[in-house]
Amino acid sequence: MSTEDLEQRPLQPEQQANYGATSSQSEAKYHKRYPYRPLMALITVIMVLFSLAGCVLYLRRFIPSQEAVRQYYEDVTKINIHSVSYEGWYSENATESELWMGDTTISKDGEKVRKYLKLRTTAGVQFDHELATSRLSNDTAYSDRQKKMIRFFSQKILKTVCFELNSMTAFNDNSTATQALGSVSIPQTVCLDLRANQKTELDFPIIIHPDAQNVASVIIKIWKRKFQELNLWSKFDITLTKWGYSLGKINIDRLNWNDFLNWGRLKSYVEEVHSFFEQPMEVDNMEFSDNDKAVDFRVAISYTLPTQLSGLFRFEENATIPSTFWKVRMPGCIGSDPILLENAVFWTPTLLIRDFYQNSNPVLLNISGRVHGPLPDELLYQVCDSDEENVVTPINLFLNRMFNATETVQFDIIGHTSGHSTHTIVPKAMLDEILSKLSQPVQANLTLNADQLVEQVSINGMKLKWVQKGWDDKKLTMMGEVISMVNIPFYNSANAGGKTTMSIQKIKGRTKLFHNDVHFVTIPMDVWTPADSEILPTNDPKRNILRVSFDIADKDVEVVDRLELTRCLNEVLVKGQAEVFVEGNLDLMVDTRLGSIVLLGLEGDGTTIVKK
- Rounded to an integer, what distance in angstroms lies between the CA atom of residue 51 and that of residue 47? 6
- Of 398, 419, 447, the last residue of a domain is 447
Domain-located, residue 175? yes
Residue 15 has pLDDT above 50, yes or no: no
293 in the same domain as 257: no
DSSP annotation of 155 reads: I
Domain-located, residue 97? no
Residue 36: per-residue pLDDT: 58
- For 538-556, b where at least 16 C-beta lie within 10 A, e where not — what string? eeeeeebbbebebebeebe
Domain-located, residue 143? yes
- Of 414, 447, 480, the last residue of a domain is 447
- Rounded to an integer, what distance in angstroms lies between the CA atom of residue 347 and that of residue 368? 5
Contact partners, residue 565, CB within 8 Å, separation at least 6: 464, 476, 515, 520, 521, 559
Residue 299 has pLDDT above 80, yes or no: yes
528-574 pLDDT, tens digit each: 889 998 888 878 877 888 889 988 877 778 889 989 988 988 988 88
Mean pLDDT score of the chain: 79
Residue 609: per-residue pLDDT: 86
492 in the same domain as 544: yes
Domain-located, residue 102? no
293 in the same domain as 252: no
171-199 pLDDT, tens digit each: 998 767 788 998 999 999 999 998 888 89
Beta strand extents in 354-502 (DSSP E only): 363-372, 385-386, 391-392, 409-418, 439-445, 454-468, 474-487, 491-492
Provide the phi-psi class of 292: left if phi over 0, else alpha when psi is between -120 and 50, else beta.
left
pLDDT grade for 467, boundaries at 50, 70 and 90: confident
Domain-located, residue 103? no
Domain-located, residue 30? no
Contact partners, residue 286, CB within 8 Å, separation at least 6: 297, 298, 299, 300, 446, 490
CA atoms within 13 A on the CB side of 30: 8
Percent of the chain with pLDDT over 90: 15
Residue 553: per-residue pLDDT: 76
343 neighbors 379 (Cβ within 8 angstroms): no
Residue 109 has pLDDT above 70, yes or no: no
Reduce the secondary structure of 256-271 to three states and give it as a string.
EHHHCCCHHHHHHHHH
472 in the same domain as 428: no
Q: Roughly how many angstroms between the first and final C-alpha of the chain, as a whole number?
A: 192
Beta bridge partners of 513: 521, 582
Contact partners, residue 546, CB within 8 Å, separation at least 6: 485, 486, 487, 488, 502, 503, 504, 533, 534, 535, 536
Mean pLDDT in residue range 434-456:
80
493 in the same domain as 413: no
Contact partners, residue 592, CB within 8 Å, separation at least 6: 295, 373, 501, 502
- Nearest-5° Cα angle at 534, 529 to 535: 135
531 in the same domain as 414: no
Which residue type, as a one-letter code, is found at position 100? W
Domain-located, residue 229? yes
Q: Comparing 137 with 88, which gets the higher pLDDT?
A: 88
Contact partners, residue 350, CB within 8 Å, separation at least 6: 320, 321, 322, 323, 419, 421
455 in the same domain as 486: yes
373 in the same domain as 308: yes
68 neighbors 146 (Cβ within 8 angstroms): yes
- Rounded to an integer, what distance in angstroms lies between the CA atom of residue 117 and that of residue 108? 21
Residue 73 has pLDDT above 90, yes or no: no
172 in the same domain as 154: yes
Indicate the SS3 state at residue 572.
helix
Domain-located, residue 9? no
Mean pLDDT in residue range 117-125:
89
Percent of the chain with pLDDT over 70: 79
542 in the same domain as 456: yes
Residue (of 75, 195, 66) closest to 137 by Cα position: 75
502-521 pLDDT, tens digit each: 888 999 888 899 999 999 99
Residue 2: per-residue pLDDT: 46
Residue 404 has pLDDT above 80, yes or no: no
CA dihedral 123, 129, 131, 132 (to 10 degrees): 120
Indicate the SS3 state at residue 550.
strand
Q: Comparing 526 with 20, which gets the higher pLDDT?
A: 526
Residue 253: per-residue pLDDT: 84
586 neighbors 483 (Cβ within 8 angstroms): no
Residue 35: per-residue pLDDT: 57
504 in the same domain as 363: no
Strongest mean pLDDT among 221-235, 354-368, 457-471, 482-496: 221-235
Residue 448: per-residue pLDDT: 65
Residue 379 has pLDDT above 90, yes or no: yes
Residue ranges making up the domain that contains 349: 278-447
Q: Comparing 101 with 565, which gets the higher pLDDT?
A: 565
pLDDT grade for 581, boundaries at 50, 70 and 90: very high
Q: Is the dihedral of CA 275, 277, 278, 279 positive or negative?
A: positive
pTM: 0.72
Residue (of 82, 67, 84, 195) closest to 141 by Cα position: 67
- Rounded to an integer, what distance in angstroms lies between the CA atom of residue 543 and that of residue 537? 10
Residue 376 has pLDDT above 90, yes or no: yes
Q: How many domains does the chain have?
A: 3
Q: Comparing 250 with 24, which gets the higher pLDDT?
A: 250
pLDDT grade for 43, boundaries at 50, 70 and 90: low
Distance of CA 149 to the CA centre of its chain: 48
Residue 346: per-residue pLDDT: 95
Residue 19: per-residue pLDDT: 41
Residue 174: per-residue pLDDT: 72
Q: Is 246 exposed, middle or buried (0-12, 13-18, 19+ CB in 10 A)?
A: exposed
372 in the same domain as 233: no
Residue 102 has pLDDT above 60, yes or no: no
Residue 470: per-residue pLDDT: 64
